[in-house]
Amino acid sequence: MIAVEDLIALVRNYNPKTNEERIRAAYEFGRKMHEGQFRHSGEPYFSHPVAVAAILTEQRLDDATIITALLHDTIEDTKASRGQIAELFGEEVAMLVDGVTKLTNLQLSSRETKQAENFRKLFMAMSKDLRVILVKLADRLHNMRTIRAMRPEKQLQKARETMDIYAPLAGRMGMQWMREELEDLSFRVLNPEARNSIMRRFITLQREAGDVIHRITSDMRAEMEKAGIEAEVFGRAKKPYSIWRKMQEKNQGFSRLSDIYGFRVITRSEEDCYRALGAIHRRWRAVPGRFKDYISQPKSNGYRSIHTTVSGRDGKRVEVQIRTQQMHDVAETGVAAHWSYRDGVRAENPFAVDPAKWIAGLTERFDTEEDHQDFLEAVKLEMYADQVFCFTPKGDVVKLPRGGTPIDFAYAIHTRIGHACVGAKVDGLRVPLWTRLKNGQSVEIITAEGQTPQATWLEIATTGRARTAIRRALREVDRERFIRLGRELARAGFEHVGRRATDKVLDLAANHLRLKDRDELLARLGSAELTAHDVVQAVYPDLAPDEGEQIPPRRAVIGLEPGQSFERASCCQPLPGERIVGITYRGKGVVVHAIDCDILGQFEDQPERWVDLHWHSGTHPAVYAVTLDMTIGNDAGVLGRICTLIGERKANISDLRFIDRKPDFYRLLIDVELRDAEQLHSLMLTLEAENDVAAIERHREQVRTGAAAS
């Protein structure tokens, strides 16, 4: 464990004016609070917060961030409180420690909907103070460096979470070195055979070709001296995961992969960057299509550099990045450069972005996204995006992620242009809308009145902004479909009580339910915002089926401790009448699984988390959702009849999703709300007997390794 004086020395190296007493006090407070706690490796637990603080000193961060690192687990894992930290170390540190604690409590590897909600919370925490996520990233980096001490299933969960969330987030923030290390540490856990294979190839390559990096570095330095450019040159082999990803993307073997070496040229001025580029291109042949100028067109996180790929010795391709020292500082620390110190004062780096503006730009396009899965998809698209720059006919620059299409370009200009798009010209030539745009191309969007977004555009668009706008427009089109479906459900509901769903009756129901008109009523019925029972009861309260004395869902399960909450597992969707068992989760209560759920095998070695449960034997309301996987004939009226049958069995459709469309058959998932297992059995028998139903089964989620972590 790093001693307090050694940690202070690390801070003093870049900030001689550091408040040593505050850091020393935080160190002693954290050590005392964590006394008696140990990591999985057997080391004292406090060695972890100290290591996190040391990682942050490499980014030359301020005292408040270093102190936060030392205290970041005290609220979560010790008897220390937020108020106590505020009293001892100030409100700023207390706010940061509290923010890190909240991030720690987010279960970012849970189900998709929950994960989307947690991404929103993560961005909210970042928006208050970005230093919260800097501490969390350093925390994750140290945990990944020491992950071998964890159980194998826990290693897999943490590695996937790191690869999916924390590594791309670090990259998006401009901390490329951290992204690469997080990816490689995760790769070591997720695919050790592939990583070992690449490492063996590297050793063989070095034995055959000698020290390529040293030779090319020397050649580049010689070219810089010849051109009279004062510059430093560094070379390195790319990380194993970076090589693996290139192999997957290009579908090439290691022997055919050329650009596995990278070089950086650090100059004294921006002018020297372009002079260095000229010198390199004079000496080596440039590879077409591999040039990017991020100095004239910086990334949103402040990153500036010139990228080029050239054919070096023996025809080997090497990637070269050229930048000034200030640009390099931002490239190394990204958004964190805003807080970095040099010689005791806050570094005035003209290329460091304002964190508040950066996070606002990242999140504003997601604020209006209502659908959880759409939000999650848009976030991940933006996190992984690498940009290309294209031009409008007037010369304005439009930034798009790599792989962006004319559809993305159109929506980047304006939603109205995107909706009306019927074609595009690239560099004056008409191209398909699925064309992948390249750096420097001029794009003209062709529009037409009356054009509306097409569902196929969702497969073409790559940006979150375009997909969100397309989905919103398609939802308006879906309204017509919901109205048709709602009319079928209303007809079935009223026929069930011996009445007809006439326009007059529907108008009356809409009025009673305080809706604008009957179309609004039918749209809400078709989209499951209302049930047929609600509509019938609004007009004929005496005829609506009596639900009787029913057991409230909160009291449906017997065997819980007083005050203990529960929720049904989404993987197996247990119903009243089925045998069940509970699994406890920290901060989540008990999750109820069907006794035959496959995921229970992951808890066999944790008997202390099992809870013996059973359903209440009374009458349950029809509120328990079950997903049915159905294949039905693609013919007029089939879906309406299916919905009618479901309504006649007194089951409510809460969601309906098509997952495969063929000329003769549809495959869809239907979420139905049921009372119990008996009603499910009856419903499936009824649907199976229908001629137009080719197949039906109860849908259950596939088990994912690592999902059992508490």
Instruction: Of 121-135, 200-214, 364-378, 507-521, give the lowest mean pLDDT range.
Output: 364-378
pLDDT value at 19 more than 60: yes
Instruction: Of 2-6, 105-109, 410-414, 489-493, give the lowest mean pLDDT range.
Output: 105-109
pLDDT at 249: 60
Q: Is residue 107 part of a domain?
A: yes
| Distances from the Cα of 149 to the Cα of 28, 112, 342, angstroms | 26, 28, 36
Distance CA 660, CA 691 (A): 20
Query: Residues near 682 by Cβ (< 8 Å), separated by ≥ 6?
Result: 649
pLDDT at 105: 65
- Core vs surface per residue 384-421: b (16+ CB within 10 A) or e: ebebbbbbeeeeeebbbbeebbbbbbbbbeebeebbbb
> How confident is the model over 165-195, as pLDDT tens digits?
788 778 777 778 888 899 999 988 988 888 8
Residue for token pair 């049915």: 628
Assign residue 560 the CATH number of its domain: 3.30.70.260
Residue 16 shares a structural domain with residue 124: yes
- The catalytic position among 20, 43, 58, 77 is 77
Domain boundary pick from 187, 210, 239: 187
Residue 141 shares a structural domain with residue 271: no
Residue 627 shares a structural domain with residue 535: no
Q: Is residue 355 part of a domain?
A: no
Residue 396 shares a structural domain with residue 527: no
- State the angle between helix axes of 464-496 and 638-648 in degrees (0 to 180), rounded to the nearest 10: 60
Conformational region of residue 141, where left means phi above 0, alpha means psi within -120 to 50, and beta covers everything else: alpha
Tokens of 209: 């070709």
pLDDT value at 285 more than 50: yes
Q: Is residue 301 part of a domain?
A: yes
Distance CA 252, CA 246 (A): 8
pLDDT at 351: 58
* Per-residue pLDDT band at 313 (split at 50, 70, 90): low
Looking at the structure of the chain, the number of domains it has is 5
Q: Which residue has the higher pLDDT, 532 or 306?
A: 306
Distance CA 185, CA 177 (A): 12
Distance CA 273, CA 536 (A): 74
Q: Mean per-residue pLDDT for 420-434?
A: 90
Q: Which residue has the higher pLDDT, 285 or 704?
A: 285
Residue 558 shares a structural domain with residue 411: no
Distance of CA 112 to the CA centre of its chain: 9
Q: Which residue has the higher pLDDT, 641 or 347?
A: 641
Q: What is the CA radius of gyration of the chain?
A: 30
The DSSP H or E segment spanning 326 is: helix 325-333
Residue percentage of the chain with pLDDT more than 90: 17
pLDDT at 392: 86
What does the DSSP assignment read for 533-601?
A: HHHHHHH-TTTSPP--S---GGGSEESPPTT--EEE-TTT---TTS-EEEEEETTTEEEEEETT-GGGG
Q: Is residue 62 part of a domain?
A: yes
Tokens of 90: 């100030």
Q: Which residue has the higher pLDDT, 339 or 452?
A: 452
Distance CA 648, CA 652 (A): 10
* Per-residue pLDDT band at 405 (split at 50, 70, 90): very high
Q: Is residue 371 part of a domain?
A: no
Assign residue 456 the CATH number of its domain: 3.10.20.30
Assign residue 197 the CATH number of its domain: 3.30.460.10
pLDDT at 106: 60
Residue 236 shares a structural domain with residue 256: yes
Q: Is residue 346 part of a domain?
A: no
Instruction: Of 394-398, 416-420, 520-524, 528-532, give the lowest mean pLDDT range.
Output: 528-532
CA dihedral 89, 91, 93, 95 (to 10 degrees): 150
Tokens of 533: 């029972």
Sign of CA dihedral 265, 269, 273, 278: negative
Question: 317-324 and 306-311 as β-strands: parallel, antiparallel, unpaired?
Answer: antiparallel
Whether residue 39 contacts residue 149, with contact meaning beta carbons closer than 8 Å, is answered with: yes
* Per-residue pLDDT band at 705 (split at 50, 70, 90): very low
Whether residue 376 contacts residue 464, with contact meaning beta carbons closer than 8 Å, is answered with: no
Residue 265 shares a structural domain with residue 215: yes
Residue 696 shares a structural domain with residue 560: yes
pLDDT value at 267 more than 90: yes
Q: Which residue has the higher pLDDT, 476 or 38?
A: 38
Domain boundary pick from 539, 561, 583: 539
pLDDT at 355: 54
Q: Is residue 348 part of a domain?
A: no
* Per-residue pLDDT band at 409 (split at 50, 70, 90): very high
Assign residue 157 the CATH number of its domain: 1.10.3210.10
Instruction: Of 207-211, 374-378, 588-592, give the lowest mean pLDDT range.
Output: 374-378
Q: Which domain holds residue 402?
A: 385-462
pLDDT at 276: 92
Q: Which of 344-358, 360-374, 663-677 has the highest mean pLDDT?
A: 663-677
Residue 88 shares a structural domain with residue 133: yes
318 by DSSP, 3-state: which? strand
The DSSP H or E segment spanning 670 is: strand 665-674
pLDDT value at 379 more than 50: yes
Q: Mean per-residue pLDDT for 210-231?
A: 87
Residue 25 shares a structural domain with residue 162: yes
Check if 77 is active-site: yes
* Per-residue pLDDT band at 28 (split at 50, 70, 90): very high
Whether residue 147 contacts residue 155, with contact meaning beta carbons closer than 8 Å, is answered with: yes
Distance CA 271, CA 292 (A): 16
* Per-residue pLDDT band at 709 (split at 50, 70, 90): very low
Residue 34 shares a structural domain with residue 153: yes
pLDDT at 544: 54
> How confident is the model over 677-698, as pLDDT tens digits?
878 877 887 787 777 888 889 9
pLDDT value at 222 more than 80: yes
Q: Which residue has the higher pLDDT, 264 or 256?
A: 264
**pTM over cut 0.85:** no
Residue 93 shares a structural domain with residue 132: yes
Query: Residues near 652 by Cβ (< 8 Å), separated by ≥ 6?
Result: 528, 531, 532, 533, 622, 672, 673
pLDDT value at 109 more than 80: no
Residue for token pair 């969007």: 445
Q: Mean per-residue pLDDT for 389-407?
A: 82
- The catalytic position among 5, 28, 35, 76 is 76
> How confident is the model over 585-615, as pLDDT tens digits?
877 789 999 988 888 888 888 888 888 888 8
Whether residue 313 contacts residue 212, with contact meaning beta carbons closer than 8 Å, is answered with: yes
Question: 589-594 and 580-585 as β-strands: parallel, antiparallel, unpaired?
Answer: antiparallel
The overall average pLDDT reported for the chain is: 80
Check if 76 is active-site: yes
Q: Is residue 331 part of a domain?
A: yes
pLDDT at 421: 93
pLDDT at 548: 52
Domain boundary pick from 539, 565, 589: 539
pLDDT value at 226 more than 60: yes
